[in-house]
């Protein structure tokens, strides 16, 4: 008897057991109003649960109002945000999936347009509809790029307040019933901008040496981990490399991951890039699985679970990543948008669910007939007679 594909072997992380290793990565929808999720998000997230994913992580959710990327971003800075988030949790659970929330602060990349409106600083077009810039913050008063807002450099006292905002957000996530949370420390947002020497020009205990630049992220992770139930996992997403000469490197990520494990972080979600600065670009080309090597190195050298992400397209590719020991989980984003039922199709491709038993019964019942060349099976229909004949022939 052959073992099940590793992609469909359950995995336990603290008290959370995932039915498979397929994760839906956080994907900002830029469709919230005042940070409140709505019907769009409900359908968007529910389809992934129906599609068989083991874990769904809700989009980057601002721990404070000025931490949003755009006016359309999700938020959790008040108790008013809990009910719509709880609705997402309950729906995912009804369909057999676990669900988490990515806690985020956009830092110096906040207060910009939605991607399809320009993905750049707000203009007169946005001002005319009441979307005016707000104060943004960062470790240093260095704008993300030419023409971008100059951030306010956080004082040490304000850093303490910022960490407190994350702690309060984690407690609200627990009230909403999430199974796990993820700290967003990637893609040039606040936590990442403390780590990178390209964006952190501080001269106090939060800047300068690598140890000092890691301080904010480590203090943040420790405070959030302490506020979050010990029985539930806490992930951290990181840009494994800045991808710019002189920036944060994979060796830095390994060093950070070792300390994060001691604090109690359970999984490092290994992405890359998102920072800005001068210098030679060293990011790998965006080819299938181009970031998997980062997850493999962190897993091997820091002895911590990792999640691989980045153009993971096919079931066999995902299975190979897991079998090779490169990662413990594989995460999909745009591929899941293209096929919300990716996990179920992967099970079919790996011969894990040839009879559609893993599908919602409302779909699987009919797909099972279709797979046998039958199209219904209702009493009195010709398909019923075909089904009986097929059954007799198989005896």
Q: What radius of gyration, in Å, describes the C-alpha atoms of the chain? A: 23
Entry field: residues in the chain: 395
Closest C-alpha among 64, 169, 78 to residue 111 = 64
How far is Cα 111 from Cα 208, in angstroms, rounded to an integer? Answer: 27
CA atoms within 13 A on the CB side of 282: 15
Question: Counting beta carbons within 10 angstroms of the beta carbon of residue 252, is it exposed (0 to 12), middle (13 to 18) or buried (19 or more)?
Answer: buried
Contact 222, 262 (CB under 8 A): no
Structure tokens at 87: 């609705």
Question: Which of the residues 189, 206, 341, 356 is marked catalytic?
Answer: 189
Q: First and final CA of the chain: distance in angstroms?
A: 23
How far is Cα 386 from Cα 388, in angstroms, rounded to an integer? Answer: 5
Residues 6+ apart with CB under 8 A from 141: 150, 151, 152, 153
How far is Cα 80 from Cα 74, in angstroms, rounded to an integer? Answer: 12
Contact 90, 177 (CB under 8 A): yes
Contact 364, 357 (CB under 8 A): yes
Phi and psi for 98 in degrees, rounded to 5?
-90, 155
Q: Phi-psi category of 346—alpha, beta or left, where left has phi over 0 and alpha has psi -120 to 50?
A: alpha
Q: Bridge-partner residues for 57, per DSSP? A: 100
Give, as one character, the DSSP assignment of residue 112. Answer: B
Phi and psi for 81 in degrees, rounded to 5?
-80, -15
Q: Is 206 a catalytic residue?
A: no
Give, as one character, the DSSP assignment of residue 107. Answer: G
Contact 199, 277 (CB under 8 A): yes
Active site residues: 189
């Amino acid at each position: 008897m052959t073992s099940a594909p590793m992609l469909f072997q359950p995995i336990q992380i603290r008290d959370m057991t995932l039915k498979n290793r397929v994760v839906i990565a956080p994907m900002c929808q830029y469709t919230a109003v005042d940070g409140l999720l709505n019907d769009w998000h409900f359908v968007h997230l529910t389809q992934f649960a129906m599609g068989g994913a083991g874990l769904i992580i809700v989009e980057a959710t601002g721990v404070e109002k000025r931490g949003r990327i755009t006016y359309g971003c999700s938020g959790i800075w008040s108790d008013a945000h809990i009910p719509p988030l709880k609705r997402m949790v309950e729906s995912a659970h009804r369909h057999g999936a676990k669900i988490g929330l990515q806690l985020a602060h956009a830092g110096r990349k906040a207060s910009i347009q939605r991607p399809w409106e320009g993905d750049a600083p707000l203009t007169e077009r946005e001002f005319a509809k009441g979307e005016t810039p707000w104060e943004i913050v960062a470790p240093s008063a260095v704008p993300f790029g030419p023409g971008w807002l100059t951030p306010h450099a956080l004082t040490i006292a304000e850093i303490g307040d910022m960490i407190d905002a994350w702690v309060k957000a984690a407690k609200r996530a627990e009230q909403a019933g999430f199974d796990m949370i993820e700290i967003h420390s990637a893609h040039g947002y606040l936590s990442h901008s403390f780590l990178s020497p390209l964006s952190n020009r501080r001269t106090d205990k939060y800047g300068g040496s690598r140890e000092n630049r890691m301080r904010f992220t480590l203090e943040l992770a420790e405070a959030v981990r302490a506020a979050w139930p010990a029985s539930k996992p806490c992930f951290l997403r990181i840009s494994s490399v800045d991808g710019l000469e002189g920036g944060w490197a994979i060796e830095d990520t390994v060093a950070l991951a070792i300390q994060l494990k001691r604090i109690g972080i359970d999984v490092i979600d290994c992405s890359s890039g998102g920072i800005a600065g001068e210098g030679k670009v060293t990011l790998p080309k965006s080819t299938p699985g181009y970031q998997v090597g980062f997850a493999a190195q962190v897993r091997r050298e820091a002895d911590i679970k990792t999640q691989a992400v980045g153009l993971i397209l096919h079931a066999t590719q995902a299975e190979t990543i897991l079998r090779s020991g490169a990662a413990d989980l594989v995460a999909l984003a745009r591929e899941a948008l293209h096929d919300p039922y990716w996990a179920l199709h992967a099970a079919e491709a790996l011969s894990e669910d040839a009879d559609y038993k893993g599908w919602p019964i409302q779909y699987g019942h009919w797909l099972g007939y279709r797979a046998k060349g039958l199209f219904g099976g209702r009493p009195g229909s010709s398909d019923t007679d075909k089904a009986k004949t097929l059954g007799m022939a198989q005896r």
